[in-house]
Amino acid sequence: MNDGVFDVVVVGGGGSGLAVALTAADAGLRVALIEKNPKLGGTTALSIGSITAAGTALQRSAGIADSADAHFADFDLFPVPAGAVDNLLLRRLYVDHAADTLHWLMSLGIAFHGPSPEAPHTRPRMHNVLPHSGATIHCLANACRARGVDIRVATTARGLVEEAGRVAGVEVDSPRGRTLIRARKGVVLTTGDYSAGTGLLRELAGERYAAIGALNTTSTGDGHGLARSVGARVLNGHLVEGPQMRFAVPRGFNWVKQLPPTRFVARALRFAMAHLPRAALLPVIRMYLTAHLQPTTKLFDAGAILVNRRGERFTDERGSPAFDIPKQDEGHGYIVFDGAIGARFERWPGFISTAPGIAYAYLSDYRRYRRDIFREAASVAALARRLGVAEEALSRSIAAAPVAYARPPYYALGPLYSWIMTTDGGLAVSSRFEVLRSDGDPIPGLYAAGQAGQGGVLLPGHGQHLGWAFTSGRLCGRELARL
Ligand SMILES: Cc1cc2nc3c(=O)[nH]c(=O)nc-3n(C[C@H](O)[C@H](O)[C@H](O)COP(=O)(O)OP(=O)(O)OC[C@H]3O[C@@H](n4cnc5c(N)ncnc54)[C@H](O)[C@@H]3O)c2cc1C
């Protein structure tokens, strides 16, 4: 059944997809955007919301001189993963347009805090969205609706339709059944990554990644599969960010996440962050850290151990413990340490977790703000009771720790999970975001942006994935408008 004819059909309603849709609609194109989940957002809505960009108005008002060239050069300060290719043309596009992208987002009512420094960048250029990453989705979706973009959620792309040698539409499943949406100018894949795509992980990254869960369980790499079915190829398919050990988000109310992502709230927060003394803001900032906190591996360097649901030590904590956590009962573990180790994580530079550019969390912050995952006891026996594990097993594990645990209290942090955060394998694309075949020729009518269209560009620093998602989306929408 034919379900509409549009100039552009965007597949995926995260940051890059909404950016494509809005830019194309702004240029007068008829646009449909389909999203398989019941809500827009994708990984973009789960993210911290850092965007790295150089030459921004916020940098200028903070007196920071920066340029696209300096940003381009700073990419080379990051180590290059083994076997990776890099696409310097796409890096150039990103750094040249990232500031405009940030200003464009700000023009839609999205506010940012910063810029913050982030090593090894030579200048502070990380901008963090306020009050949370839902704001970008909220504002972009509102703007899309205002420009008449036909947004359809709970609608999954299942196949690409080729006619006369070009991609002419998408077969979709929705509550109305299977239908066909036609695209006169192009279909754009903005379907995110394949961190939860077991088959793609197994094939491109290796078996051991296929056994790990993803933080976003719906990032199944659908766009990669759709494009490969018509001859596209994936670059840097083996690059996986993770598995990373993270604490789950606390159950129940998180007031920061509940803040409406409106212009007023963002401005009020920005004002508070600019004018209130940092000490007065610390409780706010630390509560911000109720995201999926990542504990530093320095805890293990100091002698902390990992135990499972039974209190047994199950891994070499300084090896690759993140691969072993999913194999334990209920797929999680606990970090255990004594008072001597704990004392080293009470003040700078001994933080346990950080949200880049926002804040650091120490042991006392966990005690105060994360009671759901924090346990403290005067003896090993009492800690075992609090964890619900056999005292004998926990004592044995502690006796085998790399350092002697002689000083009470005893601590446990957890449950601690292990997730793949993201994958960096993207479809090969041209600098006009056309999806390319193995021979390098474009597949007529098929485009990709965001993580699906990462095109072999390495994004090694914080804030570069979102920077790429919004920038590539915007530029891709502009290219479609030129056709
Ligand atoms: C916890 C976490 C924090 C992060 N924080 C940051 C950060 O602060 N800064 C940064 O730069 N990066 C961050 N990242 C990475 C960043 O969020 C992503 O790279 C970025 O959001 C990807 O945007 P995207 O538009 O490509 O994909 P997504 O935002 O994932 O959007 C893809 C959309 O496509 C939809 N979709 C998929 N398949 C189909 C289909 N068949 N049919 C219809 N729809 C489909 C999905 O449901 C999804 O909504 C973070 C990642 C994680 C996991």
Q: Ligand 1 centroid to 267 CA: how many Å?
A: 25
Q: Ligand 1 centroid to 140 CA: how many Å?
A: 15
- Whether residues 269 and 395 share a domain: the answer is yes
- Whether residues 111 and 30 share a domain: the answer is yes
> Total domain count for the chain?
2
- Whether residues 237 and 257 share a domain: the answer is no
Pocket around ligand 1 at a 6 A CB cut-off: 11-17, 34-37, 41-44, 46-50, 156-157, 190-192, 215-216, 218-219, 222, 292, 421-422, 450-451, 462-467, 469
Tokens of 5: 């004819």
Burial class (CB in 10 A: 0-12, 13-18, 19+), 400: exposed
Last-in-domain residue among 419, 454, 469: 419
β-strand partners of 335: 306, 413
User: How confident is the prediction for the chain on average, in pLDDT?
Assistant: 92
Site of tokens 């050069």: 73
Longest dimension (CA), the chain: 75
Distance from chain centroid for Cα 102? 18
- Whether residues 139 and 234 share a domain: the answer is yes
pLDDT > 90: percent of the chain = 81
Provide Rg for the chain, Cα atoms: 23
Last-in-domain residue among 372, 404, 419: 419
- Whether residues 182 and 324 share a domain: the answer is no
Query: How do residues 3-56 score in pLDDT, each as one tens digit?
Result: 899 999 999 999 999 999 999 999 999 999 999 999 999 999 999 889 999 999
Tokens of 307: 């135990």
Q: What is the CATH classification number for the domain harbouring 134?
A: 3.50.50.60
Q: Which atom of ligand 1 is nearest to the CA of 45?
A: 29
- Whether residues 282 and 378 share a domain: the answer is yes
Q: Which atom of ligand 1 is nearest to the CA of 42?
A: 49
Q: What is the CATH classification number for the domain harbouring 343?
A: 3.90.700.10
Q: Quick one: which H or E segment has residue 130? A: strand 126-130
The SS3 of residue 78 is: coil
Q: Are 311 and 394 in contact (CB under 8 A)?
A: yes
- Whether residues 6 and 153 share a domain: the answer is yes
**Long-range contacts of residues 159-162, Cβ cutoff 8 Å, at least 24 apart:** 159/226, 159/229, 160/187, 160/226, 160/227, 160/229, 160/230, 160/446, 162/230
Query: How do residues 302-334 score in pLDDT, each as one tens digit?
Result: 999 999 999 999 999 999 999 999 999 999 999
Expressed as residue numbers, the domain containing 229 is 2-241+421-482
- Whether residues 176 and 77 share a domain: the answer is yes
- Whether residues 333 and 297 share a domain: the answer is yes
- Whether residues 188 and 293 share a domain: the answer is no
**For residue 82, what are the CA distances in angstroms to 6, 220, 239, 243, 466?**
42, 24, 9, 17, 23
Residue nearest to atom 2 of ligand 1 (CA): 47
Last-in-domain residue among 364, 384, 419: 419
Query: How do the pLDDT tens digits run along the chain, 483 residues long?
Result: 888 999 999 999 999 999 999 999 999 999 999 999 999 999 999 998 899 999 999 999 999 999 999 999 999 999 999 999 999 999 999 999 999 999 999 999 898 888 988 889 999 999 988 877 888 999 999 999 999 999 999 999 999 999 999 999 999 999 999 999 999 999 999 999 999 999 999 999 999 999 999 999 999 999 999 999 999 999 999 999 999 999 987 765 455 666 666 777 667 766 766 676 656 665 555 555 556 788 999 999 999 999 999 999 999 999 999 999 999 999 999 999 999 999 999 998 899 987 655 567 899 988 988 888 999 999 999 999 999 999 999 999 999 999 999 999 999 999 999 999 999 999 999 999 999 999 999 999 999 999 999 999 999 999 999 999 999 999 999 999 999
The sign of the CA dihedral 109, 188, 80, 98 is negative
Cis ω for the linkage preceding 131 (within 30 of 0): yes
- Whether residues 325 and 433 share a domain: the answer is no
**DSSP of 456-480:** T----STTHHHHHHHHHHHHHHHHH
- Whether residues 248 and 216 share a domain: the answer is no
